Amino acid sequence: MANIAAQRIKREFKEVIKSEEVAKCAIRVELLNDCYTELRGEIAGPPDTPYEGGTFVLDIKVPETYPFNPPKVKFLTKIWHPNISSVTGAICLDILKDQWAAAMTLRTVLLSLQALLSAAEPDDPQDAVVAKQYKENNEMFQITARHWTNVYAGGPNVNKDCDDKIKTLADMGVEEHQARVALSSYDWELQRATEQLFS
Amino acid sequence: MSGVTENLKSSQEPNKERQDPDSSDTPDEEKKDDRIFECNICLDTAKDAVVSMCGHLFCWPCLHQWLETRPNRQVCPVCKASISKEKVVPLYGRGSSKQEDPREKVPPRPAGQRTEPEPGSAFSGFGFADNGFHMSFGIGAFPFGFFTSTFNFGDARPTAAARGTQQHMEEQFLSKIFLWMAILFVAWLLLA
């Protein structure tokens, strides 16, 4: 790895550890290997959003050309968000693509992602199904996102209705996550989700 | 985990300083002062420092590489203001350049541009100063030039200095001296 990239990650790593956001448990960074190319990030779900109370784990890969090119970041924790793929965790955020600037750091990237959780951009979606629900049935989107936060990110809000419907499908032999995806995509209508799963 | 790594690092640092006599001489406060001269790209103290028009400091090699990475989108890495190679200002400190190896791949830092200082502004010459064309017609003998008219073309005399500045005060002082000289001259003519 180019020297400048490793040097910078080292410095940034110290900066993140000292930052006040870490003290408030809003963000966290861990090293995965000694050569500073792979890191694990963590962000707390912002308050007053369906993601509140959840902890979202991110996979951060630092390219050799860092900081001239952005780090590759994706969600490892499954999340229901218009700009994040519910399948792969890929993120649609301009600063991770063409709007990247060399003075941005791990800290600012994590804070930007946290901001993305509080302010979705449904007109520039990564996950079309989620974006459609966000725009057309926002109430259902909130319920779904809160449920996913509860199940995958350790959020506190249990939704009995969702759990029951998933259980119904699971009893029919559908894998739990598959059932959750089908129900989430069809606004929690058991009938349509079942049809889609068994068609 | 992250906390542990940090602790390990801080416990290693004192050993390092004992081995290196140079670094033990520098007090911590000086290191803190250095932080404001950190390059915004490599986060190290800026080498071959240049500053953008928006005031952000970089190493020239770092900024050059950033501009090369995105040739069609040249923006400041900090504030995203438009920047270009031609519009960065190099910073020359005292005796800083000799320690560095010449970098072969990076073109030399753009040179500083030096503009000549403006000529003394209180009295700007006899009519033809500053590319302007001044023409005066006078009828009658000085000081009785009652029918005097003056044409000024392309008048580009320097604007008056701002109120309160050193230059403004000097200009006021000079204009008073000239006024008194004129009055004395007229008085002498009348008396003679």
Q: How does pLDDT run across A94-109, given as a tens digit for each residue? A: 999 999 999 999 999 9
Task: Judge whether residue A144 has pLDDT over 90.
Answer: yes
d(CA A47, CA A93): 21
From residue B169, how far is each of A149, B124, B174 by CA, in Å? 69, 17, 9
Query: Could you tell me the pLDDT band of residue A93, with boundaries at 50, 70 and 90?
Result: very high
Which of B9, B40, B42 is the closest to A4 by Cβ? B42
Classify residue B103: in a domain, yes or no. Answer: no
The residue-averaged pLDDT of A34-43 equals 90
Query: Number of C-alpha atoms within 13 angstroms, CB side, residue B140?
Result: 8
Structure confidence at residue A15 (pLDDT): 83
Q: How many residues does chain B have?
A: 192
Structure confidence at residue B137 (pLDDT): 59
Range of weakest confidence among A84-88, A113-117, A150-154, B126-130: B126-130
The residue-averaged pLDDT of A27-49 equals 91
Annotation marks residue A92 as catalytic: yes
A5 interfacial to chain B (CB closer than 8 Å): no
- How many CB atoms sit inside 10 A of residue B43's CB? 22
Beta-bridged to residue A41, according to DSSP, are A29, A58
B/e letters for A64-83, b = 16+ CB within 10 Å, e = fewer, are eebbbebbebebebbbbbbb
- Domain boundaries, position B180: 129-191
Judged by CB atoms closer than 8 Å, whether chains meet at B56 and A4 is answered as no
Strand residues in B116-183 grouped as ranges (E): 133-137, 149-153
The residue-averaged pLDDT of A87-97 equals 95
Classify residue B107: in a domain, yes or no. Answer: no
Note the helical H segments in A77-159. 106-118, 128-136, 138-152
- How many CB atoms sit inside 10 A of residue B32's CB? 9
CA B8 to chain centroid, in Å, comes to 45
By three-state DSSP, how is residue A88 classified? coil
Task: Judge whether residue A64 has pLDDT over 50.
Answer: yes
Structure confidence at residue B192 (pLDDT): 79
A26 interfacial to chain B (CB closer than 8 Å): no
A34 interfacial to chain B (CB closer than 8 Å): no
Judged by CB atoms closer than 8 Å, whether chains meet at B66 and A30 is answered as no
Task: Give every CB contact of residue B113 below 8 A, 6+ residues apart in sequence.
Answer: none
- Taking a C-beta distance cutoff of 8 angstroms, is the pair B74, B53 a contact? no
Contacts of A31 in chain B (CB under 8 A): 1-2, 5
Residue owning tokens 């670094």: B23
d(CA A66, CA A69): 5
d(CA B93, CA B47): 10
CA angle A31, B77, A22 (to 5 degrees): 35
Beta-bridged to residue B136, according to DSSP, are B150
Which of A11, A30, A68 is the closest to B2 by Cβ? A30
Task: Judge whether residue A11 has pLDDT over 70.
Answer: yes
Range of weakest confidence among A55-59, A193-197, B93-97: B93-97
- For residues B85 and B30, state if they share a domain: yes
- Taking a C-beta distance cutoff of 8 angstroms, is the pair A53, A27 a contact? no
Structure confidence at residue B7 (pLDDT): 42
- Tell me how close the Cα of B33 comes to any Cα of chain A, in angstroms: 17
Structure confidence at residue B168 (pLDDT): 86
CATH class held by domain A3-118: alpha beta
| Closest to A75 (Cα-Cα) out of A61, A59, A95 | A59
From residue A192, how far is each of A142, A186, A188, A197, B68 by CA, in Å? 20, 7, 9, 9, 53
CA angle B152, B130, B134 (to 5 degrees): 20
For chain A positions 42-101, those within 8 Å of chain B (CB to CB) are 65, 67-69, 98, 101
Return the structure tokens found at B59.
Answer: 């190493």
Residue of A nearest to B78 (CA): A103
Structure confidence at residue B26 (pLDDT): 44
d(CA B36, CA A74): 33
By three-state DSSP, how is residue A30 classified? strand
Structure confidence at residue A42 (pLDDT): 94
Domain count, chain B: 2
Extents of the domains making up chain A = 3-118, 128-198
Most confident of A14-18, A76-80, B103-107: A76-80
Classify residue B115: in a domain, yes or no. Answer: no
Distance separating the N- and C-terminal Cα atoms of chain B: 99
d(CA A71, CA A61): 6
Classify residue B55: in a domain, yes or no. Answer: yes
Domain containing residue B48: CATH number: 3.30.40.10
- Boundary residue ending a domain (B47, B78, B96): B96
Higher pLDDT pick, B2 / A124: A124
Classify residue B59: in a domain, yes or no. Answer: yes
- For residues B77 and B135, state if they share a domain: no
Tens-digit pLDDT profile for chain B (192 aa)? 444 444 434 444 444 433 444 444 444 555 556 678 889 999 888 888 889 999 999 998 899 999 988 888 899 999 999 998 888 888 887 765 554 443 444 667 777 777 777 665 555 455 454 555 556 655 555 555 555 555 555 555 566 666 777 888 898 999 999 999 999 999 999 987
Classify residue B43: in a domain, yes or no. Answer: yes
| Closest to A87 (Cα-Cα) out of A130, A116, A45 | A130
